[in-house]
Chain A
Amino acid sequence: MNSNNEDIKKYSSNEIFEYLENINQIFLIYDYNIIIEKSVEILHTLVNFNNYAFFSMHSETGEYFIKKTNVKNLKEIFFIEEKEILEWVIQENKIIAMSIDENIDKEDCLCIPLIRGPYKSGILQLRIEDDWHLVSRHTIFLINMLINNLVLSLENKRMYKDMEVQAIESEKNKNFINNILESIPNGIITLDTDGIVTQINRNACVMFNLQDSSIIGENYRNCFAEKFKKELINIIYETKKQGFIIDKRIEIKRDEELIPLGINSSLFYDAKGNLLGMLIVMRDMTASKELERLRKIDQMKTEFVSNVSHELRTPLTSIKAYVDSLLNIVPMEDFKQRREFLNIIEEESDVLLRLIEDILNISKIESDKIVLDLKILFLKEIVMQSLQSIKYDKNVHNVIIDISSDVEIPADQERTRQVFTNLLSNAVKYSPEGGEIKISAKEENNKVYIKVQDQGLGMTETQVEKVFDKFYRADTSHNINGTGLGMALVKEILDKHEVSIYLESEFSKGTVVNIVWPQV
């Protein structure tokens, strides 16, 4: 045998060209099995073999298992169990021929490792007919080219599969994160550094009356109503300046209703620390506001209980003291003294009675048990009755009634009398000595405009805002008695009549109570 041996296969340039075209086709195949089949088919043009087996390595156990073959009984004709031979082939990463049976001097099994970098696709074994010792380097070179293409194709296939898995994984992740986003009971908006909306959850859509999240991809300036847009410009400015915002309160309008929002925001970055954008979290504070209101009421009730206890105890203590005197000290004969004491007891009892009535009324109205008995009444008459029921010193306060006798209003007599009693008694209570109290009314467009003016302490703006709150007392420093229920009761009763009331007041100058009473 020598290098000019005629047995050695020679390739013409045409053959090589055709061969290259053939092996390039492997890249176009996407099916794992067909890649192997096509490669085996091309191998047939270079090497004389009948059987082949493709072994894959299990990525976890490192064991080899058969992936594709054209024979049934593998053990006799291929290396399967001599693991160290297979490992050597993988480690050396080159094509080798060996005899299955060590005692026979014929290399009849060709082992081709399919490796590229760290990726070990497996080993292709061919049961060859020819003497491998006679195969030229040229042929081995061509086989290597084929194998390179085969390995690359397998790797492409594997990477493609990995990518699919990753795509599914990332889709899952995305869904998971989306679920979280949608389930958070807050509105969430993210903006990129150019102010483009990159995310908006359902809650945020509801807050801004948006049908869906289709504003994603648009600049925030084009997406929101003017009011919120202005707020948003501020939020973005502040967030950029200090990196975050904590619990900023704003209001937005939705369906003609003002909704209080609590805003938190922060900037977010990628792993390398580059600014990606801004996260804005919005909390609907309506529920919180309601809670706050209830808490306030609760606090007021506590105050009220202590107020009421005080108010109830004062007349009771007084009554008890006078009864005590009458029983034990004042002589039976002293009728003058007795009469005086009994009068005081009556007065104090009246105070007690009124207090208890107030409490009962407010709870009645609150629980909607009150039913109005509407009749057409003369306003002046009601006001006069009310004035009579309050005790005031004509020498101290000057009360002027400027109402023409024919002014009529549709009203529940008893309740309306209560309204004016409360208003007048307030006016008297809070007016200084010599102060003038004026009640006037005029008719216009089927409405009666009633004014109750005093020259009393007056109130600040905040006090006016709270004046109709139950148990609220504008001033507790002047030793003026009260339950804090009077004005609340007035408001409740007038609301039932669908009559509006508003106050104008100037601190230390006096207050004007305005009532607009529709006549129809």
Chain B
Amino acid sequence: MADEVKLKKIVDQIVGLPTLPTVVAHITSMMQNPKTSATDIGTIISRDQALSAKVLKLVNSAFYGFPRRIKTISHAIVVLGFGTVRNVVLSASVFDAFKGTTDGEGFDRKGFWVHSLACGVAAKIISKRLGIKNIEESFIAGILHDIGKIILDQFVKEDFQKIIQIVNEKKCLIYEAEKEVLNFTHEDIGTWLADKWNLPIELVAVIANHHNPLNVKEGGGLAMIVHVADILVRAIELGNGGDKKIPLVIKECWDQSELSLLTLDKVFSEIDEEMEKASVFLALLN
């Protein structure tokens, strides 16, 4: 259980928290309305020209693989679907929010984003194999699952460096070191941020419980997938989550993912392949 008092004290210190463009919240609320059309959402996004350009760049990338050129946001929605475009907007905004932040001492920011992106890619691949329709949501959930770590690195730098030091000395999980130093974890601070950003409830659940998805009372499937994806990309050392140790995979989550040790090689090479295509996201950080 998180130490609420300590958490409150820390978040009170946070000044200048990166905000998501209002368009993200706007789209999320528009998506609740079934009458929304592609043109409606296209119009909203197009108002933010910088964002529109990034979204178009992403949707035209090899990652989405549409064989023709997508010229407008509404065309993107028609071709890729509402959900995909919303998630593209969300990920573009998140990457944008933390853009240009220099590497913190002891914490490898670049490695962190590669890990997050890889986790998104792996979650997407697992979901696709499971036949889940909304694979884009798994992708964004994977990207955002460790967002709390960035907040810690950016806003409680001293404590976070201490955490990284403990991780390096004790060869423990970052999660365990966070508990030792802060009495709460990146899951807790990530959840706080997700609330503040008004992220959809499914994503909040993943950020809050990706280390123990069994805590999610309803609809824990996404958290389970991200939990497994997180461990898979750690196993093949894609990026850096801040610690070198690989946490134990929870049996129920593994079973749920329907992966087999025999075919895992195939999944790994799929992750590698997709990561190459997803590098366009990392370019947003520069």
Residues of B near A85 (CB, < 8 A) are 67-68
Q: A324 CB to closest chain B CB, in angstroms?
A: 99
A136 to B31, CA, bound (A): 11
- Within 8 Å by CB of B38, from A105, A135, A138, lies A135
Whether B39 contacts A136 by the Cβ 8 Å rule is no
Residues of A near B39 (CB, < 8 A) are 1, 131, 133-134
Whether B36 contacts A98 by the Cβ 8 Å rule is no
Residues of B near A134 (CB, < 8 A) are 37-39
Give the interface of A toward B (CB within 8 A): 1-5, 8, 10, 82, 84-85, 88, 91-94, 96-98, 102, 105, 107, 117, 131-138, 141
Whether B38 contacts A1 by the Cβ 8 Å rule is no
Residue B157 lies at the interface, judged by CB distance under 8 Å to chain A: no
- Within 8 Å by CB of B37, from A5, A91, A93, A98, lies A5
Knowing A85-B68, A137-B34, the reply to whether A132 touches B78 (Cβ < 8 A) is yes
Knowing A1-B43, A2-B43, A107-B78, the reply to whether A133 touches B35 (Cβ < 8 A) is no
Whether A135 contacts B37 by the Cβ 8 Å rule is yes
Knowing A1-B43, A2-B43, A96-B78, the reply to whether A133 touches B38 (Cβ < 8 A) is yes
Whether B78 contacts A137 by the Cβ 8 Å rule is no
B24-61 interface with A by 8 A CB criterion:
30-31, 33-40, 42-43
Q: A491 CB to closest chain B CB, in angstroms?
A: 79
Q: Mark B59-83, 1 if CB is under 8 A from A, else 0.
A: 0000001111001001101111110
- The residue on B at minimum CB distance from A86 is B67
Whether A94 contacts B81 by the Cβ 8 Å rule is yes
Q: B123 CB to closest chain A CB, in angstroms?
A: 18
Whether A136 contacts B35 by the Cβ 8 Å rule is yes
Q: B190 CB to closest chain A CB, in angstroms?
A: 29
Residue B100 lies at the interface, judged by CB distance under 8 Å to chain A: no
Whether A8 contacts B67 by the Cβ 8 Å rule is no
Residues of B near A93 (CB, < 8 A) are 133
Residue B219 lies at the interface, judged by CB distance under 8 Å to chain A: no
Can you list 14 A-B pairs, Cβ within 8 angstroms, ordered by A?
A1-B39, A8-B37, A10-B35, A92-B80, A93-B133, A96-B78, A132-B38, A133-B74, A135-B37, A136-B34, A136-B36, A136-B37, A137-B33, A137-B82
- The residue on A at minimum CB distance from B40 is A3
A102 to B71, CA, bound (A): 11
Residue B16 lies at the interface, judged by CB distance under 8 Å to chain A: no
Whether B79 contacts A96 by the Cβ 8 Å rule is yes
A133 to B46, CA, bound (A): 14
Residues of B near A135 (CB, < 8 A) are 37-38
A284 to B83, CA, bound (A): 77
Residues of A near B74 (CB, < 8 A) are 133
Residues of B near A132 (CB, < 8 A) are 38, 78
How many contacts A-B (CB < 8 Å)? 72
A455 to B67, CA, bound (A): 115
- Within 8 Å by CB of A82, from B40, B67, B75, lies B67
A107 to B80, CA, bound (A): 13
Whether B79 contacts A137 by the Cβ 8 Å rule is no
Give the most central of B38, B68, B71, B74: most A CB within 10 Å: B38
A111 to B74, CA, bound (A): 17
- Within 8 Å by CB of B67, from A10, A88, A117, A131, lies A88
Q: B38 CB to closest chain A CB, in angstroms?
A: 4
Residues of A near B75 (CB, < 8 A) are 107, 133
- The residue on A at minimum CB distance from B78 is A97
Knowing A88-B66, A88-B67, A102-B68, the reply to whether A3 touches B35 (Cβ < 8 A) is yes
Return the 5 tightest CB-CB contacts between A and B, nearest first: A138-B34, A133-B39, A84-B67, A133-B38, A133-B74
Q: Mark B74-105, 1 if CB is under 8 A from A, else 0.
A: 11011111100000000000000000000000
Knowing A3-B36, A117-B131, the reply to whether A133 touches B68 (Cβ < 8 A) is no
A82 to B29, CA, bound (A): 37
Knowing A85-B68, A88-B65, the reply to whether A1 touches B40 (Cβ < 8 A) is yes
Whether A137 contacts B67 by the Cβ 8 Å rule is no
A85 to B67, CA, bound (A): 6
A141 to B83, CA, bound (A): 13
Residues of B near A91 (CB, < 8 A) are 65
A88 to B80, CA, bound (A): 11
A94 to B38, CA, bound (A): 15
A39 to B39, CA, bound (A): 27
Q: B284 CB to closest chain A CB, in angstroms?
A: 23
Residues of A near B66 (CB, < 8 A) are 88
Give the most central of B37, B39, B66, B133: most A CB within 10 Å: B37
Q: A151 CB to closest chain B CB, in angstroms?
A: 13
Q: Mark B124-159, 1 if CB is under 8 A from A, else 0.
A: 000000010100000000000000000000000000
Whether B34 contacts A98 by the Cβ 8 Å rule is no
A42 to B130, CA, bound (A): 31
A132 to B43, CA, bound (A): 15
Residues of B near A102 (CB, < 8 A) are 68
A45 to B141, CA, bound (A): 37
Residues of B near A92 (CB, < 8 A) are 80
Knowing A98-B79, A133-B42, the reply to whether A105 touches B71 (Cβ < 8 A) is yes
A93 to B74, CA, bound (A): 19
A133 to B34, CA, bound (A): 14
Whether A8 contacts B34 by the Cβ 8 Å rule is no
Knowing A3-B30, A94-B81, A117-B131, the reply to whether A137 touches B37 (Cβ < 8 A) is yes
Knowing A1-B40, A107-B75, A137-B82, the reply to whether A8 touches B35 (Cβ < 8 A) is yes
